[in-house]
Structure 1
């Protein structure tokens, strides 16, 4: 039996379906919020997402076997990220700073055999703690808007293993290689070694698929604190994956 989307005539129905799927757009925007600086207006992100939804409504072909919601989610998120790229609020020098801090976390944690704090990394790199915190925020943005960094893939079964941690769904096909299984195992081990609060944020975000607001409510912390914890977790994981990859070759 065709679903409601398949049966709908092409034309005046568009506004009706935009309204129907607007909660999906808002949900995706709410999840992206964990990786965005506070000055980015969520309404702008939703606006980009609506363009992605319109694109999905125009392009969707049910005969290919996709569920519309799955296809639309990829187009919506992709449109949001494309919109974020146009804002260009990450300096060109940010990439090197992110790499330096990422390597600082990885090196110090390797030496000490435990999770380290931003203060300890700041001392190692001889910079102020606020600079480390700023770089961690930039690291999330760069991860969100670029796909040429160390990444891991998702197995797509949504079984609770946080294997989609650093990957955008619209770019999955770019990461089908022989390292896939090894990276999954490395990442799972790395997540287990995170500090408790960071591990909980990762679990609530990637396994339970909660939004930034929902995680803040569950953990009784501010949204900015949740975003910071997520930032630190991502930087640790990227550093550990990068170090492990160097060790493999």
Structure 2
């Protein structure tokens, strides 16, 4: 990852591009932040179908980087690397979706699992077992494990996806200047964090470990597999189950969080 100092060191280049539209400055910024594309595409490539090439991911990612450079306002005091990473991630996933990389049947399975976690964990107020999940879904435990494995590649989502299916507001619209947060946004932000914290507490120990290592320590799933002495496919499955649990928890409070 590019260090925070890099943004400050390139402030004059940002000025040249944003204020004077000097194309050489834009080119310099693209070259400077290209490592972000490799970083994001490498993390997203874990668990994707073999027919998805790293070159395709990088190509989509570069388009996202260029879009980020064109739209970023350096005067707002935000960190470009964070903003660009989301844009790159969104561009890659949108590009993959246009290529129909996840079959409808897989998306339907993912939705069923998410809804099942939502219903059962609200009912029992605890982490539910695979047996309870398979009973609720009316499948064997082996079939449930296969379902989880099948949806592992669909646990990424685009920043440009609508927050609610019937609305046009996207996750990107929530990236508001830290200096301009209104009270309602601050309350929602705190509530979201509390909801996620409680949901994470309900994950199994192995699921919490995977989430921590992947999102906080930024290890790849293959590296996590080595740390936990498990197979990469098992780590992918644990990650998928954790994400479905968390999505289910957020879905229960979605209306309150965004429209209360």
Fold agreement, TM-score > 0.5:
yes
Taking a change above 3 Å as real, the CA distance of residues 200 and 61 of structure 1, as seen in their structure-2 partners, is: same
Aligned to 1:238: 247
Q: CA deviation at 1:50?
A: 1.3
Measured in 1, the distance between the counterparts of 2:25 and 2:11 equals 10
Measured in 2, the distance between the counterparts of 1:110 and 1:197 equals 21
Find out whether 1:190 has 2:192 as its counterpart. Answer: no
Q: CA deviation at 1:212?
A: 3.1
Aligned to 1:170: 172
Measured in 1, the distance between the counterparts of 2:46 and 2:164 equals 19
Match of 1:102 among 103, 110, 114: 114
Cα contact 2:87–2:159 (8 A) shared by 1: no
Q: CA deviation at 1:54?
A: 2.6
Taking a change above 3 Å as real, the CA distance of residues 106 and 26 of structure 1, as seen in their structure-2 partners, is: same
Measured in 1, the distance between the counterparts of 2:90 and 2:152 equals 21
Q: 1:89-168, aligned counterparts within 5 Å?
A: 89-92=101-104, 96-110=108-122, 114-127=126-139, 128-129=143-144, 132-133=147-148, 136-137=151-152, 140-141=155-156, 146-149=161-164
Measured in 2, the distance between the counterparts of 1:47 and 1:143 equals 16
Please list every run of 5 or more consecutive structure 2 residues that lacks an aligned counterpart in the other structure. 1-6, 177-183
Measured in 1, the distance between the counterparts of 2:189 and 2:26 equals 40
Aligned to 1:52: 64
Cα contact 1:137–1:228 (8 A) shared by 2: yes
Q: Secondary structure at the match of 1:146?
A: coil
| TM-score, normalised by the number of residues in structure 1 | 0.71
Cα contact 1:35–1:231 (8 A) shared by 2: no
Q: CA deviation at 1:70?
A: 3.4
Taking a change above 3 Å as real, the CA distance of residues 147 and 213 of structure 1, as seen in their structure-2 partners, is: farther
Match of 1:227 among 236, 239, 244: 236
| TM-score, normalised by the number of residues in structure 2 | 0.68
Measured in 2, the distance between the counterparts of 1:101 and 1:134 equals 11
Cα shift readout 1:5-62 (whole Å, capped 9, x = no counterpart): 6337734566655443232211112333357455433332122111222333444443
What root-mean-square deviation, in Å, do the aligned CA atoms of Structure 1 and Structure 2 show?
Answer: 3.8
Q: CA deviation at 1:191?
A: 0.4
Measured in 1, the distance between the counterparts of 2:157 and 2:69 equals 29
Q: Secondary structure at the match of 2:155?
A: helix
Taking a change above 3 Å as real, the CA distance of residues 13 and 247 of structure 1, as seen in their structure-2 partners, is: closer
Task: Tell me the matched-pair count.
Answer: 232
Please list every run of 5 or more consecutive structure 1 residues that lacks an aligned counterpart in the other structure. 151-167
Cα shift readout 1:101-150 (whole Å, capped 9, x = no counterpart): 22323344455564334454223222332553256436514677734359
Cα contact 2:62–2:88 (8 A) shared by 1: yes
Aligned to 1:199: 208
Q: CA deviation at 1:186?
A: 2.1
